[in-house]
């Protein structure tokens, strides 16, 4: 696919996907959604870590309202089911870690796109907003799934009902994202984080993602059995053997992702 609304770069095992419609704050139109789905699936097959970020002053302002056409004929159910859901599931199912490097405003579906990623690192000047109720809608793109699980019902409900802006620092303090980083250190920081993941035990990371996500629906015994099975798989990898040998030899590990 020839990308026109985003940039894709693969360097040293890190696939960098940059939303690139800065004139509209990287709002998601139909073309960008199709290209983003393709890019995430592509990265799943050739990268050891993925970074999703935005060009310009915003990460993503959500749905491009200028791309909705006639409001009397818009089918939001179809739009979410056929265009947004595949992207969010592709991120969840990606076998390698996905970092959202939130460089600015993340609003509406843009906020929830970021929160669908495995790790969210934001610049301190960034913000998150569940802006849906301001135009008579409810949170979508996974917002009603992620927010109560990360914040609890009270905070999730408040964000959805009031549509208040949440600063990156407050988002980190409340456990919504992993960390907020000073603006002048932001890019160097997320690149270092991505490089760390890309040089790590990829097979273990894949199973960490699976176990953490499935735990949300599992009982304790079911989760313990899942842990046992997945750990057994980790124990048969080359990276496990390398990790143990490196530890015993007191040298840095050289994981191959196998």
Q: What is the pLDDT along the chain (258 residues), one digit of tens a residue?
A: 899 999 999 999 999 999 999 999 999 999 999 999 999 999 999 999 999 999 999 999 999 988 776 677 788 899 999 999 999 999 999 999 999 999 999 999 999 999 999 999 999 999 999 999 999 999 999 999 999 999 999 999 999 999 999 999 999 999 999 999 999 999 999 999 999 999 999 999 999 999 999 999 999 999 999 999 999 999 999 999 999 999 999 999 999 989
Residues 87 and 192 occupy one common structural domain:
yes
Q: Give pLDDT, residue 46.
A: 96
Question: Would residue 1 count as lying in a domain?
Answer: no
In DSSP terms, 14 is beta-bridged to: 11, 49
Residue 47 neighbours by CB under 8 Å, 6+ apart = 10, 13, 14, 15, 96, 198
Same domain, 49 and 142: yes
Same domain? For 91 and 24 the reply is yes
Question: What local confidence, expressed as pLDDT, does residue 71 receive?
Answer: 73
194/208 same-domain check:
no
Total number of domains in the chain: 2
Distance CA(65)–CA(220), nearest Å, equals 44
Q: Are residues 121 and 232 in the same domain?
A: no
Residue 131, domain member (yes or no): yes
Contact 128, 155 (CB under 8 A): no
Q: Same domain for 142 and 244?
A: no
Cα 130 off chain centre by: 16
Q: Is residue 258 part of a domain?
A: no
Could you tell me the residue range of the domain that residue 39 belongs to? 6-198
Within a domain: 255: no
Please check whether residue 76 lies inside any domain of the structure.
yes
Residues 240 and 134 occupy one common structural domain: no
Asked, for residue 49, whether it belongs to a domain, the answer is yes
Buried b / exposed e over 116-153, threshold 16 CB at 10 Å, is: bbbbbbbbbbbbbbbbbeeeeeebbbbbebbbeebbee
CB 44 within 8 Å of CB 96: yes
161 shares its domain with 212: no
Residue 137's CATH number: 3.90.226.10
Q: Which two tokens stand for residue 44?
A: 């799943």
Strand order across the 179-181 sheet: 6-11, 14-19, 49-54, 98-102, 119-123, 179-181
- State whether 55 and 182 are in the same domain: yes
Q: Which of 158, 182, 198 is the last residue of a domain?
A: 198
Q: Of the candidates 176, 198, 220, which is a domain's last residue?
A: 198
Query: Cβ of 67: how many Cβ atoms within 10 Å?
Result: 14
Shared domain check, 210 and 171: no
194 and 209 both lie in a single domain: no
Predicted TM-score (pTM) of the model is: 0.94
257 in any annotated domain: no
**8, two tokens:** 């894709």
Rounded Cα gap, residues 110 and 115, in angstroms: 9
């Amino acid at each position: 696919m020839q990308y026109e609304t985003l940039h894709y770069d693969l360097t040293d095992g890190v696939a960098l996907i940059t939303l690139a419609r800065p004139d509209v704050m990287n709002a998601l139109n139909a073309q960008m959604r199709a290209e983003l789905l393709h890019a995430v699936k592509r990265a799943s097959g050739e990268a050891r870590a993925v970074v999703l970020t935005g060009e310009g002053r915003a990460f993503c302002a959500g749905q491009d309202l200028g791309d909705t056409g006639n409001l009397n004929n818009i089918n939001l159910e179809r739009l979410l089911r056929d265009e947004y859901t595949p992207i969010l599931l592709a991120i969840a199912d990606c076998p390698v870690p996905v970092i959202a490097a939130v460089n600015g405003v993340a609003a509406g579906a843009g906020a929830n796109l970021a929160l669908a990623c495995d790790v969210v690192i934001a610049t301190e000047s960034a913000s998150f907003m569940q802006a849906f109720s301001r135009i008579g809608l409810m949170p979508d793109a996974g917002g009603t799934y992620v927010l109560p699980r990360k914040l609890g019902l009270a905070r999730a409900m408040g964000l959805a009902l009031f549509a208040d802006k949440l600063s990156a620092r407050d988002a980190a303090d409340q456990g919504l994202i992993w960390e907020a980083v000073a603006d002048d250190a932001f890019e160097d920081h997320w690149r270092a984080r991505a490089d760390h993941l890309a040089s790590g035990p990829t097979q273990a990371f894949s199973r960490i993602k699976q176990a953490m996500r499935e735990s949300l629906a599992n009982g304790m015994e079911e989760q313990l059995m899942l842990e046992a099975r997945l750990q057994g798989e980790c124990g048969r990898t080359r990276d496990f053997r390398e990790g143990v040998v490196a530890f015993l030899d007191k040298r840095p590990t050289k994981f191959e992702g196998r």
